Structure 1
Amino acid sequence: METLVHYGQKVNQLYDCFMRRDLNPIINTLSRDCIWEVMGQPDIPYAGIYHGREDVKQFFTKLNDCLDMTDFVVEHILENGNMVIASGHMNAVARKTNKRFSSFWCMTYEFNENDECVHFRDCVDTLACARAMK
Structure 2
Amino acid sequence: MNEQQNTQTVQEGYDLFVKGDISNLLNLYTEDIEFIYPGMASLVPYAGVFRGKEEVAKFFAKVSEAIDFERFEVQECIAQGDAVVALGYSKGHVRSTGQPEEEEWAHVLRMRDGKVAHFQAYTDTAAVAQAFQRSSHMAV
**Band the TM-score falls in, shorter-chain normalisation:** over 0.9
SS in 2 for 1:13: helix
TM-score, normalized by length of structure 1? Answer: 0.92
CA distance in 2: counterparts of 1:101 and 1:57, whole angstroms: 22
**Equivalent position of 1:76 in the other structure:** 76
Kept in 1, the 8 Å contact 2:105–2:122? The answer is yes
Quote the offset at 1:125 in angstroms.
1.6
TM-score, normalized by length of structure 2? Answer: 0.89
Question: Which one-letter code corresponds to 2:4 in the other structure?
Answer: V
CA distance in 2: counterparts of 1:62 and 1:95, whole angstroms: 11
Question: Which one-letter code corresponds to 1:104 in the other structure?
Answer: E
Question: Which one-letter code corresponds to 1:23 in the other structure?
Answer: I
The count of corresponding residues between Structure 1 and Structure 2 is 130
Moved over 6 A (4+): none
User: 5+ residue gaps in structure 2?
Assistant: 134-140
Q: Who wins on radius of gyration, i.e. which is larger?
A: 2
Residue 14 of structure 2 is aligned to residue 21 of structure 1: no
Kept in 1, the 8 Å contact 2:72–2:88? The answer is yes
CA distance in 1: counterparts of 2:55 and 2:101, whole angstroms: 26
User: 5+ residue gaps in structure 1?
Assistant: none
CA distance in 1: counterparts of 2:76 and 2:106, whole angstroms: 9
Residue 123 of structure 2 is aligned to residue 118 of structure 1: no
Quote the offset at 1:71 in angstroms.
0.7
Kept in 1, the 8 Å contact 2:103–2:123? The answer is yes
SS in 2 for 1:19: helix
Quote the offset at 1:116 in angstroms.
1.8
Quote the offset at 1:68 in angstroms.
0.8
**CA offsets 1:10-39 (integer angstroms, 9 cap, x no match):** 111111111111112211111111110001
**Equivalent position of 1:131 in the other structure:** 130
CA distance in 2: counterparts of 1:122 and 1:92, whole angstroms: 17
Question: Which one-letter code corresponds to 1:64 in the other structure?
Answer: S
SS in 2 for 1:96: coil
